[in-house]
Amino acid sequence: MDDYTAVDILLAEDSDADAEMILRALRKGSVVNKLVRVHDGVEALDFVFREGAFSQRPIGQPKLVLLDLKMPRLGGIDVLRRLKADARTKVLPIVMLTSSAEERDIIDSYDLGVSSYLVKPVNCATFTDVVAHAGLYWAVMNRLPT
């Protein structure tokens, strides 16, 4: 069994520090689902559509995508647009998890069909609580095995 079998959560996050806080927060919230992290929007699309470096991963989609808005090579809005435009992935739950509280980013995300938009708090403890509660919410709503 390889590392990409039965992925429940795809985390697209370019910041190592934020990715570590997200992982810690999910563990704190008792969300122990299989998670794969990618570092930018291109890798996120490659993973979901089984292209590039992920062309050999087993068939199947993550049950949840945690997507950063501001990433190198391809941003979260463009990833969201592509996922929601494709019949294979348009119902995939996507949570925008970003530091941007810009009204335009929020409106664009919801217009494109994001499931939820969470602004990363600067305070580490608050950040952990936000992610832990969002992770628990999605685990319950989507019946992810925990």
How does pLDDT run across 132-144, given as a tens digit for each residue?
565 555 554 554 4
Beta strands 116-119 and 94-98, pairing class: parallel
User: Distance between CA atoms of 111 and 40, rounded to whole angstroms?
Assistant: 22
Reading the block at residue 62, the tokens are 């993550």
Among 115, 110, 78, 111, which residue's Cα sits nearest to residue 95?
A: 115
Q: What predicted TM-score, i.e. pTM, was given to this entire model?
A: 0.81
61 — phi, psi (to 5°)?
Answer: -110, 150
Q: Which residue has the tokens 């929007």?
A: 41
Q: Identify the band that residue 26 occupies on the pLDDT scale cut at 50, 70 and 90.
A: confident
pLDDT at 137: 54
- Which range (17-31, 59-73, 92-106, 119-133) has the least confidence? 119-133
In which element (H, E) is residue 94 found?
strand 94-98
pLDDT at 131: 59
pLDDT at 24: 80
pLDDT at 145: 45
Helix axes 41-48, 76-85, angle to 10 degrees: 20
The mean pLDDT value of the chain amounts to: 82
* 77 or 120, greater pLDDT: 77
- Is the torsion defined by CA of 114, 132, 23, 143 positive or negative? negative
Mean pLDDT (whole number) for 77-87: 96
Angle, alpha carbons 50-16-44 (nearest 5°): 15
In which element (H, E) is residue 107 found?
helix 103-112
Q: Identify the band that residue 73 occupies on the pLDDT scale cut at 50, 70 and 90.
A: very high
Among 4, 130, 143, which residue's Cα sits nearest to residue 63?
A: 143
pLDDT at 3: 53
Mean pLDDT (whole number) for 107-136: 74
Enumerate domains of the chain plus CATH numbers.
Answer: 9-141 (3.40.50.2300)
Mean pLDDT (whole number) for 23-29: 76
Q: Specify the length of the chain in residues.
A: 146
